Amino acid sequence: MKREIAITAYKCKKCGKLHYPFHERCLGCRGREFEAVKPQGQVKILTFTRIYNLPWGFDQRYLTIGIVEFENGVRAMGQINVDETFDLKVGMTMKPTWAPIRVQYGENVYGLVLEPAA
């Protein structure tokens, strides 16, 4: 079951810098007032890696994760759902969803899941 993307970034009211996750002070100007920003649109891959030595509890043989940027500037890390032979490249456009990424103690753990945009 897919859900609304449960990420909230914070935009400094003083200088406009986006922060995710939340920081007590702006990393740009040290301001303390923020407004909540939800990620919007598709995402662009900034960097990615494949992990082949996963910790106990993962059923996959490998995991592809990436850092992406939403159309409104919010950056986040997510799991990329492609097979090992897929020609993944920095700058590719992906479609973000909030979906189960693994099962822990019999319950789904949700996270950012990215799939190639059609």
19 domain residue, yes or no: no
**Is there a domain that residue 18 lies in?**
no
Q: What is the tens place of the pLDDT at every residue in 7-36?
A: 999 999 999 999 999 999 999 999 999 999
pLDDT tens, residue by residue, 54-97: 887 777 889 999 999 999 999 999 999 998 889 999 999 999 99
Which CATH number belongs to the domain containing residue 108 in this structure?
2.40.50
Please report the pLDDT score of residue 99 as a whole number. 92
Q: How many residues comprise the chain? A: 118
- Domain span at 62: 40-116
The CA distance from 95 to 12, in Å, is 27
The verdict on residue 63 lying in a domain is: yes
Please give the backbone phi and psi of residue 61, each rounded to the nearest 5 degrees, phi first. -80, -30
In angstroms, how far is CA 58 from the centroid of its own chain?
19
What pLDDT is attached to residue 2? 61
Q: Give domain status of residue 17, yes or no.
A: no
Average pLDDT of the residues in 30-43: 95
How many domains are there within the chain? 1
- The answer to the question of residue 79 being in a domain is yes
Q: Is residue 33 part of a domain?
A: no
